[in-house]
Structure 1
């Protein structure tokens, strides 16, 4: 069974999947969905980018009783970014069903508005453990009708110290439920957790394809040459979407300043940024408005940043697990890619540890890199901001219509459209940005004028 059309789903559900261009299932979807759709407990070992989000969202939506306005499914995730991405995927996959409410409960966001939203009810809750536990303790949320629990990136949650919180949350849930546990690894701590919360689970595993799909190159380098070699690494590989990892926030900011001084457009992503800034940064990078994102490991997992064709480890990761997640950003859904790691003589011990996991790493001489100065490290797109979103009932079709029928823009000049609760972002051909700003400010979108500017 390789196609979604072969699954025992309603015609409306299959039609929606088709409209999203979900036709061929990924390996993890092929292996897990036959069991999860039969309401069986499941342990699934799969990497970020394998299609696992769709794998656990489909059974949740398939069994949802929309007329029962109660929390029926709880999904736990390690980070706000991942929780938000899961919620977005759920909303897309359930477009064929009216009035489904998906609510995210994450730390770092105002608590009282979340409590108010819970008071008004929801069907599916996606949450980080600490925040949902706080709502449980304050009696803001009723979980007595939960029929499905999902633990996504369970290994990451345990690494972050959430074991006790997870157990405390599970103790409040009905015993009769389906539990789906997804993890990139299946080490002893995950095995112990699984044995205590799942009932006769089916184990499915996607073999680590990362070694064959990612071309890895390691370069020994002197610290003083680290930054200056970045443009050559990009141009020599004709990269258009580049993710650079640093271990510390201060390194991210310093590298961003240095590359900006070299004339490169860069974004940074780390934990010092407010959630709104982080969301915006991810949108601007994923919609190809900026070619380079410099990030700490907050971006190495849990983010749907597709089509990254070059990952550069400016700093070697602290261990081989983090290294695996980092380079996996350039091999999402089975796509290949290139990962380059820079190291100094003092870091040879770290290199050896990583090489024990990856036998196909190529050692390259930094002096052989030829900077193609004719290659332009830039994006053809820029993004406009619109101060209206889902809460104003704006949809992608409304914005697309205003840009095409409204001001005469060609569809080829319009990239990805992202709609948040109170704002929207649209990638536009940068040559048309001034035209769009001038015209769209004087054009109503769904009968209303909006504030619009370039990001």
Structure 2
């Protein structure tokens, strides 16, 4: 493979309609993952691509896939075009919201292809009938959650035996235990001869072992970094039982216009929302028990800035692109260390300044050390004035540091000082 990395989109051999659209979208230069992945995909290689959230992974597979399908349709020798309910490109994602987001991006990139590429998005939680109608005559690209896709296959609405390219977005989640049966069932329906592309922000060792069975001589691109300069990570220690009070204090003091708070369970969202409302902080919740229409409305309102604080489970941790989200807060630490990176990646996207806070009491110390070790990071423990911790409960190696800048009643730094107080102010199966 050519090791020269493209510095402009025109270096990537993309067709003019795609280049014109990228110019309209103000995509000035390819990101590192785009510069390395797009040529590999267009050359037909299988690919394992790891890069931080917000680094442009969707365009890395969407653009070459669109070009491949477009050129295939222009080839009169192609006998799969508009004949039966077949699919050429299949993109599997773990959540409904990510399915819609990826599909919308693909349709946007295809704006100047004059309707030549048919993209259909399918996921659960909504009526299956419109999706069946959309798949009549087949589709060039299908973006799907596994459960709903299997439902459509069982109804003979779509066939996978003509798929030429398979993409697993958020591949580490797609290859985890929660999706194993569904993914294996889908893989059995796909042709053996196909291009397979895996994209994710993290690739744990157990997932890397599985990729050997899925891919043939893959090219591997690993650009993950725990030290994204646009994202500041901080850890605040607090006594057990005082997390909610500290959270309410931080929200009120810094008046965040948008804050995304992660908890581990659906009922935890409602419980925390109730406790915050009693402290005068009004929030909304986002989890799998909400109907799809309600989920869409909440997410759209949060993206539009109509909701200041959103409490969510990890269905919001995968791939969702919320422009200029200033702060993400781990109220509960994620159970999986890899999910830590996915959560905090909702902020500081595409070079924007972001802040990721984790609130930990003494029972969280050991688990956070595991998260640090797995992600090759080490963060100072800080405490907020008025919420000092009981020192007798803190392990010796994890003594908290001095009060952080911007959280107590200290003299504020100038705006020009790029210190952390700048940022303090400012999965479905179906």
TM-score strictly above 0.5: yes
Question: Residues 176 and 207 of structure 2 are in contact (CA less than 8 Å); yes or no, is this contact kept in structure 1?
Answer: no
Question: Where does residue 391 of structure 1 map in the other structure?
Answer: none
Q: Residue 77 of structure 1: which of 93, 101, 113 is its match? A: 93
Question: Residues 210 and 331 of structure 1 are in contact (CA less than 8 Å); yes or no, is this contact kept in structure 2?
Answer: no
Question: Residues 49 and 329 of structure 1 are in contact (CA less than 8 Å); yes or no, is this contact kept in structure 2?
Answer: yes
Kindly report which structure 2 residues correspond to 1:322-341, keeping only aligned pairs within 5 A, or say none. Answer: 322-341=339-358
Question: Where does residue 63 of structure 2 map in the other structure?
Answer: 58
Change (3 A) 1:133 1:221: same
CA separation in 1, counterparts of 2:154 and 2:242?
Answer: 53
Cα deviation, 1:355-393, whole Å, max 9, x if unaligned, reads 323534121122243379xxxxxxxxxxxxxxxxxxxxx
Cα deviation, 1:95-116, whole Å, max 9, x if unaligned, reads 1112232212223232333223
Q: Residue 231 of structure 2: which of 214, 220, 225 is its match? A: 214
Question: Residues 18 and 63 of structure 2 are in contact (CA less than 8 Å); yes or no, is this contact kept in structure 1?
Answer: no
Kindly report which structure 2 residues correspond to 1:138-177, keeping only aligned pairs within 5 A, or say none. Answer: 138-177=155-194
Question: Where does residue 427 of structure 1 map in the other structure?
Answer: none
Stretches of structure 1 lacking an aligned partner (at least 5 in a row) = 373-455
CA separation in 2, counterparts of 1:134 and 1:370?
Answer: 54
Stretches of structure 2 lacking an aligned partner (at least 5 in a row) = 1-5, 75-80, 386-402, 411-430
- What is the CA distance between 1:89 and its match in structure 2? 0.6
Kindly report which structure 2 residues correspond to 1:7-406, keeping only aligned pairs within 5 A, or say none. Answer: 7-65=12-70, 68-69=81-82, 70-99=86-115, 100-210=117-227, 212-234=229-251, 236-237=253-254, 239-356=256-373, 357-367=375-385, 368=403, 369-370=407-408
CA RMSD of aligned residues (A): 2.3
Structure with larger RCO (C-alpha < 8 A, sep 6+): 2
CA separation in 2, counterparts of 1:371 and 1:84?
Answer: 44
- What is the CA distance between 1:41 and its match in structure 2? 1.5
CA separation in 1, counterparts of 2:227 and 2:312?
Answer: 21
CA separation in 1, counterparts of 2:370 and 2:189?
Answer: 41
- What is the CA distance between 1:188 and its match in structure 2? 4.1
TM-score, normalised via structure 2 length: 0.80
Change (3 A) 1:145 1:134: same
Question: Residues 223 and 344 of structure 1 are in contact (CA less than 8 Å); yes or no, is this contact kept in structure 2?
Answer: yes
Cα deviation, 1:267-288, whole Å, max 9, x if unaligned, reads 2111111111111111111122
Quick check: 200-209 or 132-141, which moved more? 132-141
TM-score, normalised via structure 1 length: 0.76
CA separation in 1, counterparts of 2:240 and 2:118?
Answer: 51
Question: Residues 244 and 272 of structure 2 are in contact (CA less than 8 Å); yes or no, is this contact kept in structure 1?
Answer: yes
- What is the CA distance between 1:28 and its match in structure 2? 0.9
The SS at the match of 2:284 is strand
CA separation in 1, counterparts of 2:372 and 2:201?
Answer: 19
- What is the CA distance between 1:255 and its match in structure 2? 2.6
Quick check: 361-370 or 61-70, which moved more? 61-70
Cα deviation, 1:181-234, whole Å, max 9, x if unaligned, reads 113333444334322222221111113144654322222213443223224323
Change (3 A) 1:126 1:8: same
Question: Residues 44 and 183 of structure 1 are in contact (CA less than 8 Å); yes or no, is this contact kept in structure 2?
Answer: yes
CA separation in 2, counterparts of 1:176 and 1:303?
Answer: 31
Is 1:3 matched up with 2:8? yes
